[in-house]
Every structure is written in C-alpha cells, then in structure tokens.
Amino acid sequence: MDHPTTVKILKFHAEKCKGCLECEKACSQVHFKTKDGGQKSAIRITKTGKGYSMHVCDQRGLCLDMCPVGALIRRKNGVVWLDKEVCIGCQACVGFCPIGAMRKADVRIEPFKCISCGSCVSACPEKALELIEVKIADIKQVVHYKLGV
C-alpha cells in the first residue's frame, strides 16, 4: 500500500491576526453547518497578552493507535481523519491527544478535528493562516510505553 509522505498543516502568522474569529466560524460551518465557531470549531484562536495564538491539530497522528474501531485513519493526502460513522464516541483520542487538539462539542458524542481543508485560510481577511506542507516522518508521534519496572 502506498503511504503518504507529506501532509498539509496550518501555519499561523500571529502578527497578522486581529482576532475576528472568522476562521472559527468557517470551521464550525464545515463540521456542524453553523457559524457558531467556539466549541464547534477545530481551530481555536485565543488572546494571549497583546496578540493571539492558534490552537489546532498538527496531524502528528498519535490518536491513530488509540482508536479501537479504526475510525481514525491517515488519508492519502496525509491528513488524520475521523470517520464519524465508524466512531463509537469513546473519547480515547480526545483524552490522549497531547495537545488537546482532538475536540468534543456538546452537541455530538463523536469528536472532530482539523482536516486541513483550508476553509479557515480562505475565511481569514488578514491572511494570517496558511497551509504548509511538511514531511509526516518529521511530525509523526506514537503512544509512549515505558519499559516495565
């Protein structure tokens, strides 16, 4: 089987962001068909001091090995993808994500995450977001097991 070697991930240009949250609204439109943003957005922009910071999945894929039913896969384009039809809502991926980027909204038991679709990039009036291509080998992370005693 051919395995993807690269994946597109979001890059944030903090200096350009003005905190309008258009990206969140665009994202929640993709995942929940609503402009609510906030809890229903995979990308989150938060105010930090004078500027803003972005919090989103970086496609490292640690969650892939957590899913008991195989709902999480790395697609051909390298993106870590949750199939909510297969997902049984256990939240293992949510709980184990080391950066808290696998999200759970109150309206649905199945979690959701960034799929690098670019909606937020297009929605940003300040061009503060960009999709960049990285090598999967450089970002890949697996579940850590300590050896015995």
Rule CB under 8 A: is residue 139 a binding residue for other proteins? Answer: no
Q: Which DSSP letter does residue 103 get?
A: B
Q: Interface mask (CB under 8 A) for other proteins, residues 20-59, using x and -?
A: ----------------------------------------
CB of 94 to other proteins, least distance (A): 5
CB of 98 to other proteins, least distance (A): 8
Closest CA to 108 of 21, 54, 28, 22: 28
Q: What kind and span of H or E run contains 123?
A: helix 119-123
Buried b (16+ CB within 10 A) or exposed e, 22-43: bbbbbbbbbbbeeeebeebbbb
Binding site for other proteins (CB under 8 A): 1, 3, 61-62, 64-70, 73-74, 86-92, 94-96, 98, 104, 106, 109-110, 140-149
